[in-house]
Amino acid sequence: MAGRRAALKAVDWLAFAERVPPNQRSKFNALKTRSDAIAAKLATLPETPAAIDWSYYRSAVAKPGLVDEFEKKFKALKIPEPVDTQATIISAQEADANESAKAYIEASNARIASYEKKLEKFKNMIPFEQMTMEEYYDAFPETKLDKVKNPYWPHKPIADL
Amino acid sequence: MLSRLVLLSASSLKGSGPIGAGVVQATRCLRTSSQSLAPVPPLPEEGGKVRHGIFPEEFFQLLYPKTGVTGPYMLGTGLLCYLLSKEIYIVNHETIYALTIGGIIVYCVKKFGPGFAEFADKIYEEQLAKAEAAKESSISILAKSIEAEKKEQWRVEGRGLLFDAKRNNVAMLLETNMRERLHMVTNEVKRRLDYQIALQNLHRRMQQEHMINWVEKSVVSSITPQQEKESIAKCIADLKALAKTSQAQAAA
């Protein structure tokens, strides 16, 4: 029984709460209340039940062999431990979560790389005072006027003016 | 036109560096011809300096070593006299038109020039400010996005805590269940033993009561009428004696 107790890992609820994104906060609160309820229930139960005073019963009960028989059977009784059905499920969930987390982190890193590249481009741009229009079109390709598609001035559809 | 020509020739002659202000932060476009891959210098801010609005300063500097300060003016006056006296340039009506219109143009430029230049500069400044603002906002948005992505990654790192909490819950539930079973067993055994004891007590009490009732009944039934009369007479005699003693006590 003491060995079961050590299986409980101390969960730092504060650190956990920090890491929860705002859109999952309600789920986190539900989890916390449930965990607290379970812990409270566990705390109310004493670890071992009160011992039975066999000598008193032996002196009190008239039937001669009854108490001895009860005592023998009681001491021989082995209560089976409840079976843990959720462990595999939780491990499977954890593996899934790790997978998706890895994929997410990879995608996130790719996004960070693209952002950094754009940031580099902006940081290394020459100041606008020194730019010619050609250099401006090079720096912001989306502003370049397509003279092949719209050969006549103003080189863009009238609606876009 | 003259000034631009001289300027180009001057720059190509002297191979001057950037005339404009400001430090080049990064590589500008490079010349793409195979002969030179040097970076293109930035465009100059101001045009070439001119004297009297038309004549470039470089001309005066050119003649300064040989003829001093008045050289170019003497050249100009002499040239004008030569043109007029030799009738290479003929004075006619168009000269008057040219002079008046030239005067008007000079007057207008001198009067409205600065105002117009300010107006144009303001427009330019606004465009510049807009472009700068766009660039700044882009930079800040990118930096914030990078921050947000890093924060999300930090959040993801905490996923282990969730599973720790789940496992804890499961362990606690199992432990609670186990304890409940133990308690139930003990309580049941105790209840049975207590039942036995209660049963015994009940038996004894019933036996006691029954015996008392039986004894009472037999005693009452054994009292014969003769014994009853005798006992009543004795009681009356006792009472009389008691009354006498109590009277005597009250009198005394």
Gap from B56 CA to chain A (nearest CA, Å): 24
Residue B238 CA: distances (Å) to CA of A156, B233, B234, B248: 144, 9, 6, 15
In degrees and rounded to multiples of 5, residue B56 shows phi and psi of: -70, 150
Contacts of B26 in chain A (CB under 8 A): 124-126
Among A34, A126, A128, select the one facing B169 at the smallest CB separation. A34
So what's the pLDDT on residue B87? 93
pLDDT 10s digits, A81-97: 888 888 888 899 999 99
Contact status, residue A8 vs residue B172, Cβ threshold 8 Å: yes
Lowest mean pLDDT segment, chosen from A109-113, B9-13, B58-62: B9-13
Among B131, B153, B168, select the one facing A35 at the smallest CB separation. B168
Nearest to B170 by CA among A146, A91, A77, A45: A91
B47-78 burial code (b ≥16 CB/10 A, e <16)? ebebeeeeebebbbeebeeeeeeeebeeeeee
Q: Are strands B55-56 and B50-51 parallel, antiparallel or unpaired?
A: antiparallel
Contacts of A124 in chain B (CB under 8 A): 25-26
Question: A79, B43: Cβ pair inside 8 Å?
Answer: no
pTM value is 0.60
Question: A35, B28: Cβ pair inside 8 Å?
Answer: no
| Nearby residues of A139 by Cβ (< 8 Å), 6 or more positions away | A121, A125, A131
Instruction: In whole angstroms, give the CA distance from residue B224 to residue A105.
Output: 111
- Best mutation target among B175, B181, B199, B201 (most A Cβ atoms within 10 Å) is B175
Question: B155, A20: Cβ pair inside 8 Å?
Answer: yes
What would you report as the CA-atom Rg of chain B, rounded to the nearest whole angstrom?
66
- Best mutation target among A66, A130, A132, A140 (most B Cβ atoms within 10 Å) is A130
Length of chain B: 252
ipTM > 0.95? no
How many Å separate Cα A129 from the centre of its chain?
Answer: 50
Among B131, B152, B174, select the one facing A108 at the smallest CB separation. B152
The pLDDT of A106-135, averaged and rounded, is 89
Q: Count of CB contacts below 8 A, A vs B? A: 176
Contact status, residue A99 vs residue B159, Cβ threshold 8 Å: no
Q: What is the mean pLDDT of chain B?
A: 84
Q: Is residue B5 predicted with pLDDT exceeding 50? A: no
Residue A161 CA: distances (Å) to CA of A154, A155, A157, A158, B22: 9, 10, 7, 6, 33
Return the domain boundaries, chain A. Answer: 8-47, 87-124, 129-160
In degrees and rounded to multiples of 5, residue B30 shows phi and psi of: -95, 150
Instruction: In whole angstroms, give the CA distance from residue B116 to residue B136.
Output: 30
So what's the pLDDT on residue B204? 92
pLDDT band at B238 (very low <50, low <70, confident <90, very high): very high
Specify which of A26-35, B122-131, B195-204 reaches the highest per-range mean pLDDT: B122-131
Q: Is residue A52 predicted with pLDDT exceeding 60? A: yes
Question: Percentage of chain B with pLDDT > 90?
Answer: 49
| Burial grade of A95 (CB within 10 A; 0-12, 13-18, 19 or more) | exposed
